[in-house]
Amino acid sequence: MSQDPIVTSNGLAERDRIAIETLYRAFSDHDPDLLDGALAPDWQDIPLAPGQAAGREGMKPLVHAFSAAFPDVRITIHELIGAPGRAAVRAEITGTHQGEWFGVAPTGVRFTIPIHEFHYVRDGRVTHTWHLEDWFGWLHQVGALGTGEKRAGEKAE
């Protein structure tokens, strides 16, 4: 499959597409101020991360924390499918675990996890985001979980 993102707009306004791409670029560029041009002030992030405040301003500390945990992070959009006022994104996060994340001390392990998100957009700003990242897969990749394999005859708990 091509590394270039597949974009199917079907009526998604150009400025709305740019807002979505800018949201991801804020993480890759370690620049939370990019969120000002991408997200509505009352943007809804569903679900919120533990301790995350609501709205655009609530995401900025998360960008900082993400940058500290994964200084070489990249979010790559593989597919953006849009319709007027809404879009679906299939992307992946890659990076190296160099700072604490989810209570896991730095491991120095490189990882790749998929993300799937749905966005509502209006007037060139994202208003709602429903997201799912494979953090369970991340925990496994960085060695924070056991293999989960049981030896023959061992009882499952």
Q: What domains are there in the chain, each with its CATH number?
A: 6-141 (3.10.450.50)
pTM of the model: 0.86
Q: Which amino acid is at 36?
A: D
Per-residue pLDDT of 79-128, as tens digits, reads 999 999 999 999 999 999 999 999 999 999 999 999 999 999 999 999 99
State the residue for tokens 């989810």. Answer: 102
Report yes or no: 20 and 121 within 8 Å, Cβ to Cβ. Answer: yes
